[in-house]
Amino acid sequence: MADDSKSDSKAEIGSYVAVGDSFTEGVGDPGPDGAFVGWADRFAVLLADRRPEGDFRYTNLAVRGKLLDQIVADQVPRAVDMAPDLVSFCAGGNDIIRPGTDPDEVAERFERALVRLTAVSGTVMVTTGFDTRGVPVLKHLRGKIATYNGHVRAIADRYGCPVLDLWSLRSVRDRRAWDADRLHLSPEGHTRVALRAGQVLGLDVPADPEQAWPPLPPRGALDVRRDNVAWAREFLVPWIGRRLRGESSGDHVTAKGALSPDDIRMRIAPVA
């Protein structure tokens, strides 16, 4: 069975490769230079902190907007070539939110890619999708996402992979965990996911990812309606336009590649 909370043997991880889409690239979590950081980079620092200085390698291959087959074609072979101690594999979410896709079929392709990664990596950590009950546009896909999540967990069971279960992470149901586009996490949201990833691998993390948020002042119906109209104009309409034109937000984006934990620490310090 897949174990969501691995033992201290994971303290020996000396190399980590992050594979995925905008979630793993870190969209919504800009550093002081505007380039994205994200949960995977923050998680890499937690792993590096358990190693002697200079004895940890990290590569982030994720690119926003990528579908599962694109991730499998572009990122998985590079991860296989590096044969790291740990791979985080988050893929299929962009497929699932597209009309007409079958979560059963997407899961079959996901499993084939996972087999390639588990053959060369010490550990492959997979992630579930978020609970979209409160997300405009995406809330009607909640059942489809839940079906895909069930497949991901079953696949993880078959191959002994730890699961970063985002569906059950209650703290990210708060709107402050999300960027203004309501599709990507905020810096605090990414931080909480990184902490939870550390817990999944049995690390001692510096804070509780489920720590309660401070109370928010109440908002009236007019404020909510005004926010929704502004969000639709600024984010929803352009997103729909890209889909109609067959464009992706990652069409001209290059993966971050190899990153130094020291450089990540410097970039997250001003926004931590």
pLDDT tens, residue by residue, 228-255? 777 677 766 676 676 666 666 766 789 9
| Average pLDDT value for residue range 45-62 | 95
**Could you tell me the CA-to-CA distances from 174 to 115, 124, 177, 179 in Å, in that order?**
35, 28, 6, 11
| Average pLDDT value for residue range 51-64 | 95
Token pair listed for 6: 């691995």
Digit-coded pLDDT (tens) for 131-145:
998 877 788 999 999
Q: What is the pLDDT of residue 45?
A: 96
Token pair listed for 217: 């002042």
Q: What is the pLDDT of residue 6?
A: 44
* Higher per-residue pLDDT: 222 or 170: 170
Report the Cα–Cα distance between both ends of the chain, in Å, rounded. 35
Radius of gyration for the chain, computed over Cα atoms and rounded to the nearest angstrom: 18
0.75 exceeded by the pTM? Answer: yes
* Higher per-residue pLDDT: 98 or 60: 60
DSSP per-residue string spanning 94-145:
HHHTSTT--HHHHHHHHHHHHHHHHTT-SEEEEEPPPP-TTSTTTGGGHHHH
Question: Rounded to the nearest 5 degrees, what angle is found at the Cα of 15, between the Cα atoms of 12 and 19?
Answer: 125
